[in-house]
């Protein structure tokens, strides 16, 4: 669904935050009256970025099925201001919408610090059946240590590698996605192909192999047993295997001029899609829509999709969101019913076929409408199979409240290596220092 998923680029919603009543998160309505599923109700939904439910027609479909329900969505573009406002209103104890979008960049903070503010989906009558429809790693990320489930997953961001077929052909490299997947079965192989591209006398002189060292780092870091946190959620960027391996490969690419040195999601990066400034970019499922938006109809057939390096051992997820219901709201039961419906496999299939949001449900991902999907825009790539295999191979890596800040510290340092010539060891020291400041360590 988005960029970072919306990664750094998509997010936000006009916010509001409910009175926080400790212990009331769960399946019970906050009112004294028993829940009447046929009573007239207006449900407000606060979102950021491009969740796509309105565009896909799902709100209208639900209202047609439930004539007593009116759905009102408020959405803003950026996740950073959205979450800042959400935190402010949580602290104030007022203003939440009936349903709030929760992005991967702040789900750990919700689970760790605001669990009492959200209703518990594990207490609904069909909780066991609902749980089985989600990838376990997705379901677990919104689950507290004592088993409370604070949100249900919307989309996921399993990763692949997008590549420009025309630029590869000009450089004399293979353009068959399966062959490339074998050539870069690991990140060392990927860097070998990068050097072949950079050394080619026939490649476009103003193009680099990969957009940014962040493409490598942000993908590889979640292929370790640990990324930024230990099993208890404590930040450990200075000792995790994921950070060590990802830094090694990404800093090597940056220092050896294998990247275009662009800041992802900047205006310059956006423009670079059209001018062919790079031949590969890390591709979570939502990136396909992002590339299509940047290039329009004229970009059809330029790009293709291959497996992500290292995927055979562990796949990598980048992005994805949840829908949570603030605890204690007058219409909590109705809101939870809508969330369960919007995130059910049937609706996740519709979101893929209509809006290209990859499911967080293996039931949906294994449906032929998803699993057998190909993309004409991306040279006929079997996107359903590629991203489905990636999603099935993801293991749960502990996440924490400061992951976004830690990742930014590392990607900023890598940009210094690529664009300023900073020595990798010095840049690593800068990254660790900045990460420590962000986490209070």
Assess whether 223 and 293 both reside in one domain.
yes
Tell me if 180 is assigned to some domain.
yes
Tell me if 90 is assigned to some domain.
yes
Assess whether 105 and 206 both reside in one domain.
no
Tell me if 355 is assigned to some domain.
yes
Q: Which domain holds residue 46?
A: 41-156+319-360
Assess whether 380 and 350 both reside in one domain.
no
Assess whether 311 and 244 both reside in one domain.
yes
Tell me if 1 is assigned to some domain.
no
**CATH code at 93?**
3.40.190.10
pLDDT in tens, 350-386: 999 999 999 999 999 999 999 999 999 999 999 999 9
Tell me if 172 is assigned to some domain.
yes
Tell me if 10 is assigned to some domain.
no
pLDDT in tens, 72-91: 999 988 888 998 888 888 88
DSSP annotation string for 206-225: T-EEES-HHHHHHHHGGGSS
Assess whether 116 and 217 both reside in one domain.
no
CA atoms 11, 348, 369, 59: torsion sign: negative
**β-strand 278-284 against 208-210: which pairing, if any?**
parallel
**Of 336, 360, 384, the domain-final residue:** 360
Residue owning tokens 């969101």: 321
Assess whether 48 and 126 both reside in one domain.
yes
DSSP-derived letter for residue 122 is G
Assess whether 264 and 127 both reside in one domain.
no
- Tally of structural domains, the chain: 2
Q: What is the pLDDT of residue 312?
A: 80
pTM: 0.88
User: For residue 329, what pLDDT band results from cuts at 50, 70 and 90?
Assistant: confident
In three-state secondary structure terms, 299 is helix
In three-state secondary structure terms, 140 is helix
Q: What is the pLDDT of residue 32?
A: 56
Assess whether 195 and 305 both reside in one domain.
yes
């Amino acid at each position: 669904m988005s960029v970072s998923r919306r990664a750094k680029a998509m997010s936000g919603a006009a916010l509001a935050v409910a009175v926080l009543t400790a212990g009331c998160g769960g399946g019970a309505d906050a009112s004294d009256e028993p829940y009447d599923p046929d009573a007239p109700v207006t449900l407000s939904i606060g979102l950021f970025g491009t969740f796509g439910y309105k565009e896909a027609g799902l709100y209208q479909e639900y209202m047609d099925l439930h004539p007593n329900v009116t759905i009102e969505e408020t959405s803003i573009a950026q996740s950073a201001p959205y979450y800042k406002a959400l935190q402010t209103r949580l602290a104030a104890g007022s203003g939440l919408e009936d349903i709030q979008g929760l992005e991967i960049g702040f789900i750990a903070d919700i689970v760790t610090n605001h669990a009492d503010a959200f209703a518990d989906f594990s207490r609904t009558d069909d909780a066991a059946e609902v749980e089985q429809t989600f990838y376990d790693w997705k379901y677990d990320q919104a689950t507290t240590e004592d088993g409370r489930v604070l949100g249900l997953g919307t989309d996921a961001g399993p990763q692949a590698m997008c590549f420009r077929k025309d630029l590869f052909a000009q450089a004399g490299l293979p353009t068959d996605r399966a062959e490339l997947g074998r050539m870069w079965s690991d990140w060392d192989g990927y860097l070998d192909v990068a050097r072949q591209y950079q050394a080619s006398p026939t490649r476009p002189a103003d193009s680099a192999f990969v957009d940014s060292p962040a493409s490598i780092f942000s993908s590889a870091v979640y292929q370790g047993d640990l990324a930024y946190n230990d099993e208890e959620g404590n930040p450990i960027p200075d000792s995790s295997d994921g950070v060590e391996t990802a830094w090694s490969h990404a800093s090597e690419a940056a220092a050896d001029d294998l990247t275009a040195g662009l800041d992802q999601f900047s205006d310059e990066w956006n423009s670079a899609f059209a001018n062919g400034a790079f031949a590969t970019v890390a591709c979570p499922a939502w990136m396909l829509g992002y590339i299509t938006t940047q290039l329009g109809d004229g970009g059809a057939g330029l790009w293709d999709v291959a497996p992500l390096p290292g995927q055979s051992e562990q796949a990598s997820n980048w992005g994805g969101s949840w829908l949570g219901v603030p605890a204690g709201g007058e219409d909590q039961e109705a809101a939870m019913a809508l969330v369960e419906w919007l995130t059910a496999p049937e609706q996740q299939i519709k979101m893929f076929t209509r809006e290209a949001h990859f499911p967080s449900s293996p039931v949906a991902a294994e449906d032929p409408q998803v699993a057998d999907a190909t993309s004409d825009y991306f040279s006929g790539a079997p996107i359903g199979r590629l991203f489905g295999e990636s999603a099935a191979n993801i293991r749960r890596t502990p996440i924490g409240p400061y992951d976004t800040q830690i990742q930014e510290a590392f990607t900023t340092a890598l940009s210094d290596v690529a664009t300023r010539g900073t020595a990798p060891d010095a840049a690593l020291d800068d990254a660790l220092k900045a990460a420590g400041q962000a986490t209070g360590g």
